[in-house]
Amino acid sequence: MYGYGGKLLYVDLSSGKIVKRKLDEGFARKYVGGNGFGARLLYDNVKAGVDPLGPDNCLIFAPGAFCGSPVPEASKSGFYAKSPLTGAFSEAILGSGIGPELKNAGYDAFLVRGRAKQWSYLWVDDDDVRIEDASHLVGRSTLDTLDGIREDIGDLKVMVACIGPAGENLVRFACIESDFRQAGRTGLGAVMGSKLLKAIAVRGSRDFEIADAELMEGLLAEWYDRIATHPQAISDIKYGTGEFIGTLNEIHGVFPTRNWQDSVFKGYRTIAPQYWVPKYSIKTKACHTCIKPCGKVFVINDGPYAGVSIDGPEFETQYSLGGCVGNADPELLAKANELCDKLGIDTISAGVVIAWAMECYERGLLTSSDTGGLKLNFGNAEAILKLLEMIARRQGIGDMLAEGVREASRRLGKGSEMFAMHVKGLEPPAYDARGLKGMGLAYAVSTRGACHLRSCAYAPELSGSWWKFKRVDRLSAEDKAYVKTIEDVMALYDTVGICKFSRHFYFVEELPDFFMAVHGYDLDDKELLKLGERVYNLEKAFNVREGFDRRHDTLPPRLLNEPVREGGSRESVITNEELNRMLDEYYEARGWDKNGIPTRAKLEELELNDITDDLKLR
């Protein structure tokens, strides 16, 4: 089989048993890689109702199907587990070199179950796989852990994925750090922490054979020029991912501010990359095989935050630790971002949880006696930085915040649930859905909670069109079933491992050539879309088995009850009636029933017959 490492690696930390299984060709053809492998392995290996932080949850890692080949932008690999933040299917994607490295080591995925007796790390050195002692790494930041493991092994080339103190302390939105990138969302760092798994180190030196090297060289030559000269690529290289922050504030008015009380952040200019890139950025960084690099290295040389050196802050962080917490200081933003990266916390969830605490404080629901004397006013630098430390170490109020905004608001009560921003427990990213109604539907139905990446619906909503979808009206709740198709496309990207920022040029129609070059499969665009749909339905099936249905496909009360106060989406809100209409239309497009459950006919069409029996579907 071309384009594959050829084996799956199963590790049981409780027993110490390590098993390598040959990758089955039928399995590979049907689920292809990345998200497909992750969703299927998760469905098969994590039974309904298991504790996400217990030994029966599994942590799965699967590089995209094109990972390891030189296909430009094929950098993405995914971590999969049952999320400790949502209790649902979870995927966290990152562009680390550990994915290709794993393929060069001869594996297309690994699955870790159980719980080690002491802090450990998994060391995959081609065929030699061991569970090593990690007691000397406990308490160390993500970057220190990387250095520690490189020192242990004595090789700078070793790729490492690890957790920081937040993951060790089971912060429910702890991330996994690898290659200076983060698998940020849904708290998979806590899953590693619960297994006493501090890190995974990989070194691969085996040949990775693709189907047609000559075709690949031809495609590379053609696509290199197409990508490098694309206006989107040029702008990404210049300003990174936050290039459109001005438009979001000035034109659309959908930049969530001060815990989504406002949708325009008046201080956005100084956290915009147009301001800070020329002033602070010393270089541009890329994920693996990316030729439109969007990472901007932010370095602070003097002042209170001297010494900060990070890849970012990316757009979502400009929102979460910028506008959402009322912070307009780019140096504070970079410092907070660095702290999150080192402690191993998802910047999006962290910012939203802090923003919620700040609103509680300003409304008098939390007082200085609850916060250990911290004044949690929006924009307070000391409070933001201190809270991040307190969350990661579960100190004081940080212990409650570390549970995520849904659980924190449940514990505090006093009506704070009404402005706790989450869907299914996951804190939302930077798009105010009241002014992007398709994004509202996307948040509501997403399999991992409030997520911009299941669908990337913000793109057609903002620009009015994408791919074959034209005349998208962001302020209307009509004709939003297109979200179904773009979710399938995004699941396909996550399966092959292509970055979603490539969606402006790699349309589904372009992918068959790459399949031919890497895997030697002849798959047309219709089959590829069906693959995406199969993967998405697998994610959904996992959630259905956990008891999720239409009741969970909803939005935070603020988006349903409080119209936008000012700016380009002024007075807009998503009414319950609109949400229900969008859900009906979406479920119908999906071929699911009115309760949001896949039908037997749909799953059989997607060749998931065994799942229909498992779920006892009608």
Q: Which is nearer to another protein, 223 or 592 (CB)?
A: 223
d(CA 477, CA 441): 9
Cβ proximity to another protein: between 56 and 209 the closer is 209
DSSP letter assigned to residue 30? H
Please report how close the Cβ of residue 609 comes to another protein at its closest, in angstroms: 36
CB 462, min distance to another protein, A: 26
H or E element that contains 125: strand 120-125
Find the shortest distance in angstroms from Cβ 25 to another protein.
20
Nearer Cβ to another protein (208/361): 208
Separation of alpha carbons 576 and 573, rounded Å: 10
The Cα 576–Cα 130 span in angstroms is: 53
CB 208, min distance to another protein, A:
4
Nearer of residues 339 and 573 to another protein, judged by Cβ:
339
Tokens matching residue 403 = 């549970």
Record the tokens describing residue 361, joined without a space: 């404080």
Q: Please, which residue, 226 or 266, has the CB nearer to another protein?
A: 226
C-alpha torsion angle, residues 200, 205, 211, 217 (rounded to 10): 100
Sign of CA dihedral 567, 569, 573, 574: negative
Nearer to another protein, 251 or 306 (CB): 306
- Report, in Å, the least distance between residue 71 CB and another protein: 9
Q: Is 156 exposed, middle or buried (0-12, 13-18, 19+ CB in 10 A)?
A: exposed
Closest Cα to residue 171, out of 96, 83, 258, 91?
A: 83
> Are the CB atoms for 333 and 313 separated by under 8 Å?
yes
List residues near another protein by CB under 8 A. Answer: 68-70, 72, 97, 100, 104, 143, 156-157, 179-180, 204-210, 213, 216-217, 220, 224, 228, 237, 282-293, 295, 297, 299, 309-311
- CA pair distance 573, 236, nearest whole angstrom: 31
Question: Residue 109's closest CA among 34, 16, 207, 54?
Answer: 34
- Nearer CB in complex with another protein: 71/421: 71
Going from the C-alpha of 191 to that of each of 202, 361, 388, the distances in angstroms are 19, 31, 19
Scanning 78-187, the segments in alpha helix (DSSP H) are 98-104, 142-153, 165-168
**What's the min distance (Å) between Cβ of 148 and another protein?**
14
Minimum Å gap between C-beta 156 and another protein is: 5
Q: How far is the CB of 34 from another protein (least distance, A)?
A: 17
* Complex with another protein: residue 85 or 308, whichever CB lies closer: 308
Q: Which is nearer to another protein, 156 or 618 (CB)?
A: 156
